């Protein structure tokens, strides 16, 4: 499957997974061999990251970065920090 064929939703899911990996979260490490997307739905960490990404969708700064970088997963400083749990 090419990048173009991926849905927006899949890209966001990948971005969230990447965010968790960046955090080097022990939960994530534990879940890597399981079905991460299923299990992460129940984790506070995931909810917090979700909230950051949801907020980022309505954020002008994120929007600017996304169109500038052509990267659907781009986040502004504020929301990147939020997604990382800072
Ligand atoms: Zn933002």
pLDDT at 67: 95
Q: How far is the CA of 60 from the centre of ligand 1 (A)?
A: 7
Read off the pTM: 0.48
Gap from CA of 81 to ligand 1 centroid (Å)? 10
Closest-CA residue to 28 (of 44, 10, 8): 44
Return the half-sphere exposure (C-beta side, CA atoms, 13 A cut-off) of residue 62.
18
For the chain, percent of residues with pLDDT exceeding 90: 34
Q: Which residue has the higher pLDDT, 5 or 52?
A: 52
Domain ranges for the chain = 3-83
Q: Looking at residue 30, what is its pLDDT?
A: 57
With 70 as the cut, is the pLDDT of residue 23 above it?
no
Q: Say how many Å lie between the CA of residue 78 and the centre of ligand 1.
A: 6
Question: How far does the centroid of ligand 1 lie from the alpha carbon of residue 27, in Å?
Answer: 25
CA distance readout (Å), 5 to 13, 32, 51, 52: 15, 25, 26, 25
pLDDT in tens, 45-69: 778 888 999 999 999 999 999 999 9
């Amino acid at each position: 499957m090419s990048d173009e064929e991926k849905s927006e939703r899949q890209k966001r899911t990948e971005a969230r997974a990447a965010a968790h990996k960046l955090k080097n979260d022990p939960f994530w490490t534990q879940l890597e061999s399981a079905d991460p997307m299923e299990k992460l739905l129940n984790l506070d960490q995931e909810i917090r990251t979700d909230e950051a990404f949801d907020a980022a969708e309505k954020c002008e700064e994120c929007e600017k970065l996304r169109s500038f970088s052509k990267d659907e997963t781009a986040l502004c400083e504020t929301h990147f920090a939020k997604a990382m749990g800072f």
